[in-house]
Homo-oligomer: A and B are copies of this chain.
Amino acid sequence: MPLKDLGYRLLPGLKWLHGYTAQDAVADLIAGITVGLTVLPQGLAYATLAGLEPQYGLYSAFVGGIVYALLGSCRQVTIGPTALLALMTSRHTGFGLGSGPTYAILLCLISGVVELAMAVLKLGALVDLISLPVTVGFTSATAVIIGTSQLKGLLGLRGGSGSDFINTMKSVFGNLQHVRQGDVTLGLTSIMVLLLLRKLKNVKLANRVRSLRAQQLISGTIWVIATGRNALVVLVASVLAYSTCEQMETCPYILTGKVKSGLPNVALPKFETTILGKNGTQITQDFEAMLSELGPSMIILPIIAVLGNVAISKAFGGAGLSPTRELVALSMSNICGAFCSSMPVTGSFSRSAVNHASGVRTPIGGCYTSVLVLLALGLLAPYFQYIPKAALSAVIISAVIFMIEFEVIKPLWRCSRRELLPGAITFVMSLAVGVEIGLLLGVGADVAFLVYRAARPVLSVSKLQTINGINYILIRPKHSSLYFPAIEWVRSGISKALSIHGTAPVVLDCAHVHDFDFTAARGMGSLYKELAKANVPLFLMSAHKDIGLILKESTNIDFPTIDTPDDLECLLEQTHDYELQLQVTAPLVESQLIHRNPTVDEPTELSKLNGTGT
């Protein structure tokens, strides 16, 4: 059946239908609805965070579920709007005249295309370059930025929420006199309730009741309340706002305002838009101008999206998933989404966890979420206008507060302080300049360390004696590769060893060295000649044959090679000159540096000794 195989190949999700039982369907339905109740308030809130009208959050929440069900492979993953991507999108939505959605949708399309390119070019591995400290610095900074951006909504301050941490802080503290009591009270209460309901999951009330059925009922209810807490709080706040505002003349809460009802248009994303100029004029932005405005976001946003998705599928699916297939599923979610007015989407960690906890069995669960979101767009939209902004801000704040990770600082401080630096750079620069720059600088710091490690291998240097008492200097690089940036270091290390320990044959122990490049080989060649001029022979010990080959090819020198230090004697006896030389320099040997047995030796670490760097 090649047609069926082709179908499975193109839409691997079809295989979920194979043997899909009623039980599976019920489980997926329950999980789908639970996730839906989470994504509804989150979607409205994240769209506002992104600087868009609330309905765009819902437009972004239904395509991912269907596409992922068809293409994805990890049942827990739910794709949709996330706080992080909303924040990154918000950089491009503040130009007025309805250019916001156009930019967001174009960014969604481009992200999908870039992700597809990453899948085709196998560039998904780029996320490997983001180390854990950088990830933590990045998500923590994002959480802080998002949290501050929600302070306005929470305090009832008018004006859009920006992605610029410093300006937001200034604006909030400059307007503290305009704080509205109603919004603050509602917002803070909502946050407290949300945090308490979150804790509720851990409470074991049910054990005190005897009947098994009652136990199940109680714990089930608690679980539903705890999991659906966002929807619950938003519902209660909306009812409260509705009833209060109907009675009073001035409403004590800032409300979300009209949410456009109905499904989004299925249409090609727009490739031009108009923005508001400085003097209130309209400026037409063509495709090129739009691309130049999006700039690095077109690369960084997809990488962050992939990073998020990889983290989730790793957490729930283990190493068995095909990263390429995941990448294609994410990419198609964005591309198809862009045709339904979606902003950029990726896997949401919090909703995937809800999905997992709700007992989802196949990615088809995502389809039920999508149906729920579409129903809400069609039927519930008129009621969304009563949602107080403070309640939505509370939903976001109580979600992102747990993204700030202090707990990695302690183990890092205790066992690898150096790694605090890239994390700190990422965190501080994300707050000060922007999350994209912060991330790039953090990765840059990590890469600089990798290059530094390659350039400054630890060399252990020891002055030893063969069984017959011939002194020699043993240099052992504690690194498996000697590449171009390291060879000067090795050269100067050997020079310093000679000036400290006195003249003696030099043995370079290559047992652990696997890789050698042309620059390093040439450098070894000139070192060999330089030492030969000073009557110091240079030997390679236990060198791999590849190393011998590259040395021979690039320098035309046959390096004398030995297998053990004792081979040194035969070679030195053949070269009478060297022996003479050795007898002359013998008095220079410092006694405390003489060791018979290399294994009991405590070598001088040249990385300390060799501090000048060049």
Contact = CB atoms under 8 A, between A and B. Distances in A.
Contact of A518 (B122, B419, B447, B517): B419
Nearest to A511: B512
A450 B553 CA distance: 22
A261 B491 CA distance: 48
Contacts of A412: 518, 554
A131 interface: yes
A419 B327 CA distance: 32
A516 to B, nearest CB: 9
Contact of A495 (B132, B320, B526, B614): B320
Interface string A575-596: 0000000000000000000000
A122 B485 CA distance: 15
Contacts of A484: 128-132, 446
A414 B550 CA distance: 9
A447 B452 CA distance: 10
A334 to B, nearest CB: 18
Contact of A489 (B128, B314, B458, B549): B128
Contact of A478 (B133, B453, B488, B514): B514
Interface in A504-541: 512, 514-515, 517-519, 522, 526-527, 530, 533
A522 B128 CA distance: 13
A517 B318 CA distance: 21
The secondary-structure label for the interface of chain A is: helix
Interface string A227-252: 00000000000000000000000000
Contacts of A124: 613-614
A270 interface: no
Contacts of A127: 614
A160 to B, nearest CB: 34
B451 A447 contact: yes
Contact of A480 (B122, B480, B489): B480
A1 interface: no
Interface string A153-197: 000000000000000000000000000000000000000000000
Contacts of A414: 553
A474 to B, nearest CB: 17
Given A408-B518, A517-B131, A554-B411, A323 B453 contact: no
A122 B613 contact: yes
Nearest to A486: B128
Contacts of A494: 319
A483 interface: yes
B450 A451 contact: yes
Interface string A469-488: 00000000011110111111
A433 interface: no
A527 B314 CA distance: 10
A547 to B, nearest CB: 10
A455 B129 contact: yes
A576 to B, nearest CB: 25
Given A483-B450, A553-B414, A324 B419 contact: no
A492 interface: yes
Contacts of A453: 454, 481, 483, 515
A319 B530 CA distance: 8
A408 B518 CA distance: 9
A306 B50 CA distance: 49
Interface string A446-466: 110011011100100000000
Interface in A403-425: 408, 411-412, 414-416, 419
A523 B323 CA distance: 17
A125 interface: yes
A597 interface: no
A258 to B, nearest CB: 44
Contacts of A599: none
A612 interface: yes
B518 A324 contact: no
A174 B522 CA distance: 43
Contacts of A319: 491-492, 494-495, 527, 530
A132 B519 contact: yes
A548 B577 CA distance: 48
Given A323-B612, A553-B415, A613-B125, A133 B519 contact: yes
B614 A455 contact: no
Given A132-B518, A319-B495, 17 more contacts: A127-B614, A128-B487, A128-B488, A130-B484, A131-B517, A131-B518, A133-B518, A319-B491, A411-B553, A415-B549, A415-B550, A415-B553, A415-B554, A416-B517, A446-B484, A479-B480, A480-B481
7 contacts: A128-B487, A319-B495, A319-B527, A320-B495, A419-B517, A453-B515, A479-B481
What 5 A-B pairs have minimum CB-CB distances, sorted nearest first? A131-B484, A323-B614, A132-B519, A480-B480, A124-B614
